[in-house]
A and B are shown apart, each in its own frame.
Chain A
Amino acid sequence: MSSCREALIALVLAGSTLGAFAQAAKPAAPAEFPGIGRTATPKEVQAWDIDVRPDFKGLPKGAGTVARGQDVWESKCASCHGIFGESNEVFSPIVGGTTAKDIETGRVARLTDESFPGRTTLMKLSSLSTLWDYINRAMPWTNPKTLTPDEVYAVTAFILNLGGIVPDDFTLSDANIAQVQQRLPNRNGKTTDHGLWPGRTLGNGGKPDVLAAACMSNCATEAKVASLLPDHARNAHGNLAEQQRLVGAQLGADTTRPSGATRRMSTLAAVTAPGAGPAAAAAKAVALARQHNCLACHGLDNKVVGPGMSEIARRYAGRDDAVDYLAKKIVAGGSGVWGPIPMPEQSLPAADVNALAAWLAGGAKRP
């Protein structure tokens, strides 16, 4: 007890000393923080300053042909985006929806056509720098920033060629990119005339466009239900009873049963236990699949680009050489077994290949 009190006294004393110090110290003027931060070297700035602006400031010198772009595309891009940039399997389509007329007008006509499904990258793209910059900084999906500038030019040229914006024999370069900008189908399809920019440098200075009034009684009402989820979607997000706290003013609706059937449940029985009972081998295999980015294309249960892990397990269940076969397929890749989208070759340690193959052959059990 006494040592406790002594410690308290010491703390109080320390506190008052600190307080006096704080009062005496002059607040540091901005930019006066000696010893903190240093000048970045030109080498460091060059390593990280990769952005390319719409006026092409920041664009490195280089060039790439459509043909070279096709090679890069087929080896590094097509597995997610489709051979023609049309795939909606993993990401929204890149190519489609633009016309030769759009290239003349700089406005994509289909953006006003409400019956046209979806909006592709080329339908929205207003600045070519955006496409170049994003491929350069973020692609390929599992190995971003590994393309050379010439490869980025080439892939950009290939995409533009798929959209009919440049001819088959075109070479895109830093010298002609500004001219190609003038052929983008949606180069004129943008505006900053709005009030949602928090400054005066763009837009209308912050003036809102949607105006409403706060009527309090006998208001003109819209009290007619026009949209609600259909009964067949009742359980589409899983059982909502398991997504609500078990105690409180309301319970979750038991969406495995018809409306009105919800009753207070015994508490623990209703608790979902996420990740209960991990099996070590399965957990290790799933971790490997995640580490090597297998899951970017194969869901555990569902098809993403390639088949789901459990789908693979089901197909090869009972096959004596399943481990060997699957190990070879993991390394070599292939196409045609599950669909036209190719799986590229993979390079991962043999031990990991074997662990994954054994897990798949054993049923691809969840951890």
Chain B
Amino acid sequence: MTDDLPPQQPGRVRKAPESFLDRSGIQAVHREARSGRRDFIRSAFAAAAAGGAAVAAPAALAQANPVPADGGDPNILKLPEHSTGLGQPVVTDGYGMPSKYERNVQRRQSPGLTQTNQASVSFAPLQSLFGIVTPSGLHFERHHQGWWDIDPSKHRLMLNGSDDKMLRRPMVFTVDELMRLPSVSRFHFIECGANTGMEWGNVAVPTCQYTHGMISCSEFTGVPLKVLLDMAGADYKRGRFVLAEGADGSSMTRTIPMEQVENGEVFVAYGQNGEMLRPENGYPLRLVVPGVQGVSWVKYLRRIEVGDQPYGAKDEVLHYVDLMPGGLHRQYTSIQEVKSVVTTPSGGQVLLDRGYHQISGLAWSGRGKVRRVDVSVDGGRNWRQARLQGPVMDKCLTRFALDWVWDGKPALVQSRATDDTGHVQPTYRQLRAVRGSRSIYHNNAIQTWLVQENGEVKNVQLS
């Protein structure tokens, strides 16, 4: 192993929208790495690794909640106001809000990532979430031309064909009508194709909110698109592609394969986590395309066209294309492949004490169910199989956990998911060997968190 970094490619990482650090920032990263900070971290880590598997607890661990000198915790001995007074009445809020102590749990923008706020992204705070469902108010946002709160009584869904014979008849539905039809409710993840895109070339952001926060998971409710296309008499033999189009300013379009419609997976959703979709997520209608990147889950869905060719939309030709090392752009890359991330502990957090910690995180695959997740605390040399917390569902987030006793030494924490097609999440080295490092999209590499001796956790990439 040498200290030589990969040859610098000025411009490989652009300020926006392709990455966060500018050229001088990138150079600073590498300059500081060269000047020895990396050596310091590596030597500390090597010492830890030499000590064997990091499970041996030191002789005396600090008690996390020690007994005070006077023999009792004042939080126990002195009854608080809420135990001795009268609480709040019902319906202080017709729509309840989280505790005031939870105000730090917010979706956030990554500074410098985009230059406009209407074509931008906010990231879900994965580091603060439990289980697999994303609270609707914390669902990540990606707007292409600003969001709208559309009057559902005036919204329409149209079905038509690329020619007159593609459907027996073009149709129009009101939202009322769609909500009368037989419905399905299913849990699925939605991940932006550019999630973790800032990290293709190098570390660019500090926390898992920014590295992986363009993913969310909800229970969606709606009508299978197949039901609607059957009503309109679609020609499934000729019509092998479906165009989905939004009603907002950009009238977003994406091509969907008819196979995914025919097998019943794709549905027109109006519900999200028991209530209607949030305006930021497409109220009153959005398409759900399980396993496929979020850009295909067209919001404010107004039109479905059945056709015999793909559509070459802006987000199929100019964006959401993967630049390969030979200079070719891959178009219509849609599936979000097997991926996982440890959310606790994760970048920007501080472990307060040595001793027991539960390592926990999220795994998913756009090809099916998560079969297993392995976790390493030594940078990938040794792995242990994590527990999968049920339910484990198709094209849905899966929560995993592993017991860990932290001995206070540096650790490199990673997770690696395998899906039920047998596809294994790659390391950065494996991913870049095939796809280079200049793509923006579909980065599913293994994430590494460095736990420093002082407990602070940092985002790092290994070579």
Which chain A residues have a beta carbon within 8 Å of chain B's beta carbons? Answer: 28, 30-31, 33, 36-40, 44-45, 48-51, 53-55, 57-58, 89-92, 107-109, 111-112, 114-119, 121, 124-127, 129-130, 133-134, 137-138, 141, 144-145, 186, 189-203, 206, 208-219, 221-234, 236-238, 240, 242-253, 255, 259-260, 262, 264, 267-268, 270-274, 295-296, 304
Contacts and interface: CB of A to CB of B under 8 A. Distances in A.
B101 A251 contact: no
13 contacts: A49-B303, A51-B311, A127-B312, A198-B260, A198-B292, A209-B434, A213-B424, A228-B33, A228-B461, A230-B25, A250-B349, A250-B352, A274-B103
Contact of A112 (B100, B162, B291, B326): B326
Contacts of B324: 191
Contacts of A195: 335
Nearest to A201: B240
Contact of A197 (B102, B117, B226, B332): B332
A55 B309 contact: yes
B84 interface: no
Given A232-B28, A259-B454, A271-B103, A226 B33 contact: yes
B74 to A, nearest CB: 14
A198 B101 contact: no
Contacts of B350: 250-253, 262
Given A231-B32, A250-B352, A272-B104, A196 B337 contact: yes
- Place the interface of chain B in its size category: 35 or more
Interface in B315-348: 316-318, 321-324, 326-335, 337, 344-345, 348
Given A198-B335, A243-B106, A250 B329 contact: no
Given A201-B310, A221-B380, A248-B344, 7 more contacts: A37-B173, A117-B14, A189-B329, A201-B241, A216-B382, A245-B128, A252-B350
B458 A228 contact: yes
Contact of B379 (A211, A213, A223, A253): A223
A241 B209 CA distance: 13
Nearest to B289: A198
B389 interface: no
B458 A240 contact: no
Contact of B116 (A194, A272, A304): A304
A243 B260 contact: no
Contact of B330 (A51, A57, A196, A264): A196
Counting from the closest, the 10 A-B pairs by CB-CB distance are A199-B257, A117-B11, A223-B379, A226-B463, A250-B349, A240-B348, A114-B9, A111-B327, A260-B454, A112-B327
A208 B101 contact: no
B276 interface: no
Contacts of B352: 250-251, 264
Interface in B441-456: 442, 444, 450, 452, 454-456
B331 A304 contact: no
Contacts of A248: 344
B162 A57 contact: yes
B143 interface: no
